[in-house]
Amino acid sequence: MAPATPSSSPSGTRSTRRTGTNRDPHRGDTKRRIVDAAERVVVRDGVGHLTLEAAAAEADLSKGGVLYHFGTRDALVTAMVTRIIEEFEEDVDSHLPDPDTDAASRPGAYSRAYLRASLEPSSPGEERLGAALLAAAAAEPALLLPLQEAAAVWQARISDDGLDPATATLVRLACDGLWLCGLFGLAVPDRKLVRSVGERLEALVTP
């Protein structure tokens, strides 16, 4: 995975923002700027150096400007975890067939998209960021809630994908295992082996 909707997120982590004449049109841009800055701090210095002050300095904002959007460091970490989820869900959506085609009604469409998104992420090379964020979230279990909620939705869709649920779940667990191996450097298979594994897994979810 990876981690990681935007496109309409099945996890429900994205909500429709209310519009109004008093809403700052640049608010979303500023939030993204802060999250971008926080990611740079984590990748460069490690998650232990991530503070609201560090994110503010990296984003060239005042601490008050960061506090307006993220009242605590935990809220900022949660936003970063959520972004990983959203990026992964975007990848899954990019591999789903057009809903108006016959391919969309074939069993296993979501499972195959999940597999392909796991093997071909659109933002490769972010293992250090993902590992650091998961390590921080593991120390504060509440920060893992967005990922837990998203994973529950992914599993539900896989179980209801027209395939044998045990087989489809086996493929999801293999995908998640590959992701975690990449994040934490756990005997990561080489690209050729990963491709071979992917072909075997694809065969399991292709009726």
- H or E segment at 198? helix 191-204
Question: What's the CA gap between 130 and 132, in Å, rounded?
Answer: 5
Spatial neighbors of 29 by CB under 8 A, at least 6 apart, are none
Q: Which residue has the tokens 């390590």?
A: 135
Asked if 107 contacts 163 with a C-beta cutoff of 8 angstroms, the reply is yes
Is 185 in a helix, a strand, or coil? coil
Angle, alpha carbons 42-45-50 (nearest 5°): 50
What are the angstrom distances between the C-alpha of 81 and each of 23, 28, 163, 201? Answer: 25, 17, 30, 27
Provide the pLDDT confidence category of residue 22 given band limits of 50, 70 and 90. Answer: very low
Closest CA to 88 of 23, 183, 195: 183
pLDDT tens readout for residues 150-167: 999 999 999 999 999 999
CA 145 distance to own-chain centroid: 13
- Which bin fits 46, alpha (ψ -120 to 50), beta or left (φ > 0)? left
> Across 1-5, 78-82, 136-140, which has the greatest mean pLDDT?
78-82
Q: Which domains does the chain have, with CATH numbers?
A: 27-204 (1.10.357.10)
Q: What stretch of H or E contains 30?
A: helix 27-45
Q: Tally the residues of the chain.
A: 207
Q: What is the pLDDT of residue 38?
A: 93
The alpha-helical segments, DSSP class H, found in 46-72 are 52-59, 63-69
Question: pLDDT digit string (tens) for 111-147?
Answer: 999 999 999 877 666 677 787 777 777 778 888 899 9
Residue 127: closest CA among 73, 50, 193, 180 = 180
Question: What number is the average pLDDT over the span 27-44?
Answer: 89
Task: Taking residues 98-112, report their average pLDDT.
Answer: 93
- Please choose, from the candidates 41, 27, 40, 34, the residue with its C-alpha nearest in 3D space to the C-alpha of residue 76: 34
